[in-house]
């Protein structure tokens, strides 16, 4: 389906999960646990199906995305969509540049500035980087490049 697949929401995902549980004969849920997007799903279970959901555990997930998260999500999507290898979603090879960039942006939103400062400060690493504009190559750059590079091995840009 690629980009022709219709858009969907967290509510849509939960509705399909509920239909599956009905088909399986499950009538009660002791607990729904999820992190990030899974946390949004857990919360939606509590909202839409409180009558059969005993508890939820929402890990690192808001009740709704705020303007900053919506903005960062747009930037990440645009990094993928503007990658020439994306080819409108009809790619043969993974659009690695856009997907890696999107992951690096995402990684910057998962922690606070204070946590990044504590972990990386302005520490440098010995190896050089093709993306470096200076002689210094910082640990945070190495970390982000690693996260981007390994992400493209595990995820598809259309997912």
pLDDT for 5 equals: 82
pLDDT for 141 equals: 92
What's the predicted TM-score (pTM) here? 0.80
H-only helix segments in 49-138: 67-81, 96-109, 113-120
pLDDT for 125 equals: 86
pLDDT tens-digit map of 106-148:
999 999 999 999 999 998 887 766 666 666 688 999 999 999 9
pLDDT for 18 equals: 98
pLDDT tens-digit map of 30-84:
999 999 999 999 999 999 999 999 999 999 998 888 999 999 999 999 999 999 9
pLDDT for 128 equals: 65
| Size (the chain), residues | 159
pLDDT for 65 equals: 87
Higher pLDDT, 93 or 14: 14
pLDDT for 126 equals: 78
Q: Where are the domains of the chain?
A: 2-59, 67-154
pLDDT for 102 equals: 97
Give every CB contact of residue 144 below 8 A, 6+ residues apart in sequence: 104, 107, 108
Higher pLDDT, 88 or 57: 57
Q: Tell the CATH topology of 67-154.
A: Rna Polymerase Sigma Factor; Chain: A (1.10.1740)
Question: Cβ(79)–Cβ(101) under 8 Å?
Answer: yes
pLDDT tens-digit map of 20-31:
999 999 999 999
């Amino acid at each position: 389906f690629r980009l022709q697949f219709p858009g969907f929401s967290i509510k849509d995902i939960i509705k399909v999960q509920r239909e599956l549980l009905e088909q399986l004969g499950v009538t009660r849920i002791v607990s729904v646990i999820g992190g990030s997007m899974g946390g949004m799903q857990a919360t939606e279970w509590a909202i839409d199906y409180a009558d059969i959901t005993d508890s939820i555990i929402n890990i690192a997930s808001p009740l709704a995305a705020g303007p900053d998260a919506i903005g960062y999500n747009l930037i990440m999507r645009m990094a993928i969509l503007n990658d020439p290898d994306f080819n409108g979603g009809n790619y043969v090879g993974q659009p690695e540049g856009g997907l890696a960039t999107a992951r690096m942006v995402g990684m910057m939103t998962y922690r606070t500035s204070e946590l990044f400062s504590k972990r990386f400060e302005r520490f440098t690493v010995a190896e050089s980087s093709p993306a470096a504009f200076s002689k210094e190559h910082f640990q945070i750059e190495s970390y982000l490049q690693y996260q981007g590079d390994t992400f493209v091995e595990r995820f598809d840009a259309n997912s």
